[in-house]
A and B are shown apart, each in its own frame.
Chain A
Amino acid sequence: MESIWAVVAEGMSAAAVVGVAQRSGLPVEAYVFGDSELANRVASYGVSHVHWWSDEQTLPETLAMSLASRAKEDMPTAVVSSDQATSRVLLGAIAVVVDAAVAHGIISVAPSDGGVKVERYVADAEAVEVLCAPGPVVCTIADGVAEAEPAATPAPIEEMEPEQNGSIKVLSTNEEGEGANGLQDAERVVGVGLGVGSKENVALAQQLADAIGAEVACTLPLCDNYHWFEHNRVVGTSTQKISPRLYLSFGSSGAPQHMTGVRAAKVIVAVNTDPEAPIFRECTYGIVGDVSKVLPAFIQAVSK
Chain B
Amino acid sequence: MHAIHVSGLTKTFGSRRALDDVSLTIAPGEMVALIGASGSGKSTLLRHLSGFVAGDCGEICICGEAVQNGGRIARNVRDLRSHIGFIFQQFNLVGRLTLLTNVLTGQLHRIPTHRSLLRIFTRKERDLGLQALAEVGMERYAFQRASTLSGGQQQRAAIARALVQGAKVVLADEPIASLDPESSRKVMEILARVNREHGCAVLVSLHQVDVALRYCPRVVAMRDGRVVYDGPAAGLSPEFLKDLYCCDPEAASAGAPPAGAPEPVALPLAA
B and A form one assembly: no
Binding site for B on A (CB under 8 A): none
Binding site for A on B (CB under 8 A): none
